[in-house]
Chains A and B, each alone.
Chain A
Amino acid sequence: METQKPAQESHGHHHILSTEVALGVGFALLLLTGLTVWIAGVDLGRLNFLVALLVASVKAALVALFFMNLLYDRRENGVIFGTSFLFLAIFLVLTATDLFFRGDVAVKGPLTAFAQSKTAQPKVARPWVATPLLLSQGKMLYSQQCVACHGPEGKGDGPAAGSLTPAPRDFTRAGGWKNGRKPSQVFKTLVEGIPGSAMAPYGTLPAEDRWALAHFVLSLGEAPEADTDEDLLKVGIDVKGGGQVVQEAPSIPLEVAMRRLTRPEPRAAKVGAKIEAESAGGRLYLARCASCHGEAGEGAIARVSGTLDAVRLRTAPLSASQAVGSPAIFESIVSNGLPGLMPGLASLNGTQLSELREHVRKLVAAQQ
């Protein structure tokens, strides 16, 4: 092979890769490429990913050590290059631990808010009438809960707005409000959200906070029309009857929310026998519940919820729920949903609900 020596006087004792080594390393790289492609076709579950990374890292090491001469280079250059990977690892690990251990907070957040809303004493007697106190309360809440989409000045230009269709409402303009601009109508938006858009229901906030928010966002644009007594009655407030709240927004029993709060992160249940789903309840379950709870109610199905910062929720096996044992609680959960966790199915009638519960009970019985 080559015999000529490197010129000592110019590049010092610089190592020149021999052609054999260069070709050998090249050949190894080609083989390893074949290996990754082949092994990706073999189903190893989660291992596939690790194997692919491992093979890639071996290849990368070969390239760096031989082709980039790092093996023969001054040690400090290896240290310099190596540090970049150290920082990359710190970057990845810190971001990932932050993100993936937030799950608990994500599940508990809405429920905690809900539990508080159920027990908090209202501070204002007639929150549907705007007062400076309510406005400042609304402003504070707005800056926590709404600013990301609706923007600091309510122009619908918050940092999260760019990707949303339909775009968040511009509160400074009077046109284009789907539910209308009276305080009671905005209140209703906050109870129900706007289906098909990123505007979620905020039913977990105490009613007073929802009124405060309604008054605040309306104060950003031109003065809205005032509510009539009928408008207020529509959101459950009987002004003539002394401001009595005649109907509560649909919700679940407080104890269910509290129990959920104290439960550890769910794992999937083991399922014994497979349950026949040909009954009416079974079909309903497959159509409306299985996507989140699993075909056998085994749970641990990750669901991405929340439009703002995507969070992962996992359902618990249905056998962990005491709700299944009580027709009243079960029906209330299924019809009203769980705030921030599970959508309600208000359209089901009594027979359907009991058929559904029958099926769920069979699933629970089959879990070990």
Chain B
Amino acid sequence: MTTTHHHAHHFASANDEFEAAKQGMWVFLVTEVLMFGGLFVAYGIFRGLYPDMFHEAHKFLAVNMGATNTLVLILSSITMVLAVTATQRGRRDRAVLFLVLTFLLAGCFLVVKYFEYAHKFHEGLLPGGYFVNQELKDPKAPLFFSLYFVMTGLHMVHVLVGMGLIAWLFRRTARGEFGPQYYTPVELVGFYWHFVDLVWIYLFPLLYLVG
């Protein structure tokens, strides 16, 4: 295992560098919680105001697709963990394999989302003023779809970013840049990826199941 990383000179040791980077990641995730948090608060308030509308509108989401995507994301979280531990234990081939699997599962998520969005577009279940669906009569229903698209859309952007990061890890892992001595980026991208899963863990029941 050839690990070529040298810690930056302003850190006393590689371990200090790792701990600082990790703490930085946690702080970043705090900002992420608060960004999604604003949307969850909006969801909570509007749900409180229009419980019946939420109930009617949520029936127009495809539970099976949402559930499939939940499973896909959880599986990808598992493969991500395995990629991280493989790197930490110096098992480079396994790390590469699990990174590829994680990437593919993320791709799966996007494909399902594509079909879901396409269906919503087709039915006219669109946000705000673009809403043209005839079946869902509640005048406030466009609001539900505004929330749906903004929340799942922002989440999807995170999935895309995550895929970029995983591809980058893949390249560096394949080159042998990570190993038991140095795996900070692998572990931290892992955190990010689990966070993306964590957001979906809430989005799925709130939007698809209980409306």
Contacts and interface: CB of A to CB of B under 8 A. Distances in A.
A96 B48 contact: yes
A74 interface: yes
B63 interface: yes
B33 A63 contact: no
Contact of B74 (A30, A68, A77): A30
A84 interface: yes
Contacts of B70: 33
Given A22-B81, A36-B209, A52-B210, A73 B22 contact: yes
Given A22-B81, A22-B82, A88-B41, A304 B49 contact: yes
Interface string B22-46: 1100110111011001101100110
A73 B205 CA distance: 29
A312 interface: yes
B71 A84 contact: no
Q: Which of under 10, 10 to 19, 20 to 34, or 35 or more describes the interface residues of A? A: 35 or more
A6 B187 CA distance: 14
Interface in A178-199: none
A40 B209 contact: yes
A77 B90 contact: no
Interface stretch (B153-161, B163-171, B195-203): B195-203
Interface of A: 2, 4, 6-7, 9-12, 14, 16-19, 22-23, 26, 29-30, 33, 36-37, 40, 48-49, 52-53, 55-56, 59-60, 63-64, 66-69, 73-74, 76-77, 80-81, 83-85, 87-88, 91-92, 95-96, 99-100, 163, 304, 310, 312
Interface of B: 14-15, 18-19, 22-23, 26-27, 29-31, 33-34, 37-38, 40-41, 44-45, 48-50, 63, 67, 70-71, 74-75, 77-78, 80-82, 84-85, 88-91, 128-129, 140, 180-183, 187, 190-191, 194-195, 197-198, 201-202, 204-206, 209-210
